[in-house]
């Protein structure tokens, strides 16, 4: 199987996952293990350079966007941006979302406001850079900030167990005043 086909297959596996599982649950931990294996496979396929076709770039970007590290998401953003340059539908949004994820993992404000997180009370957007305009969001296929805030507020999924939340999220919850008592 060639590199591009292998990356597209990894994306198909990624997209077939049930992402509605709650963090901290055994099914979530198994999902994260499978995500890690796909990221490792994608990184191995990228060691000799990036593919030239937009679908393979997009596929690699999606797989890396489901990572745990700022660097993985940042690379996903760059791959998606290249796929967008090559005309891949959806790639501008993915580039924005992966950039936001890389910033969130680095405990910085998002640029576009694509990441919704549990905060111990409800769901909210991770902090967003106020200098980013809705025109910039729309140019990157991201809805206006008010729409993203409304999406977050409308989520009724139960909160995951915050005892196992990443320390970066726990620090943000302290800043937001929503960290539940231990």
Reduce the secondary structure of the chain to three states and give it as a string: CCHHHHHHHHHHHHHCCCCCCCCCCHHHHHHHHHHHHHHHHHHHHHCCCCCCCHHHHHHHHHHHHCCCCHHHHHHHHHHHHHHHHCCCCCHHHHHHHHHHHHHHHCCCCECCCCCEEECCCCEEECCECCCCCHHHHHHCCCCCHHHHHHHHHHCCCCCCCHHHCCHHHHHHHHHHCCCCCC
pLDDT, position 106? 96
Tell me if 162 sits within 8 A of 118, measured CB to CB: yes
Tell me the pLDDT tens digit for each residue of 127-158: 999 999 999 999 999 999 999 999 999 998 88
Q: For 54-63, give one letter per residue: b (16+ CB within 10 A) or e.
A: bbbbbbbbbb
Cα 153 from Cα 137, distance rounded (Å): 19
Low-confidence ranges of the chain (pLDDT < 50): none
pLDDT, position 162? 79
Tell me the pLDDT tens digit for each residue of 61-76: 999 999 889 999 999 9
pLDDT, position 182? 64
pLDDT, position 25? 81
Handedness of CA 43, 80, 17, 101 (dihedral sign): positive
């Amino acid at each position: 199987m060639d590199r591009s086909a292998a990356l597209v297959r990894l994306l198909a596996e990624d997209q077939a996952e049930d992402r509605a599982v709650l963090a901290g649950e055994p099914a979530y931990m198994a999902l994260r293990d499978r995500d890690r294996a796909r990221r490792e496979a994608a990184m191995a396929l990228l060691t000799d350079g990036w593919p030239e076709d937009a679908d393979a770039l997009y596929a690699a970007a999606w797989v890396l966007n489901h990572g745990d590290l700022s660097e993985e998401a940042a690379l996903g953003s760059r791959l998606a941006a290249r796929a967008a340059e090559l005309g891949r539908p959806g790639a501008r949004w993915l580039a924005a979302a992966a950039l936001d994820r890389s910033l969130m993992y680095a405990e910085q404000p998002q640029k576009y406001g694509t990441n919704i997180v549990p905060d111990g009370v409800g769901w909210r957007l991770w902090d967003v850079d106020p200098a980013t305009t809705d025109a910039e969001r729309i140019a990157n296929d991201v809805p206006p900030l008010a729409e993203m805030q409304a999406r977050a507020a409308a989520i009724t999924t139960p909160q995951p167990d915050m005892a196992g939340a990443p320390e970066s999220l726990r620090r943000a919850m302290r800043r937001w005043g929503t960290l539940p008592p231990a």
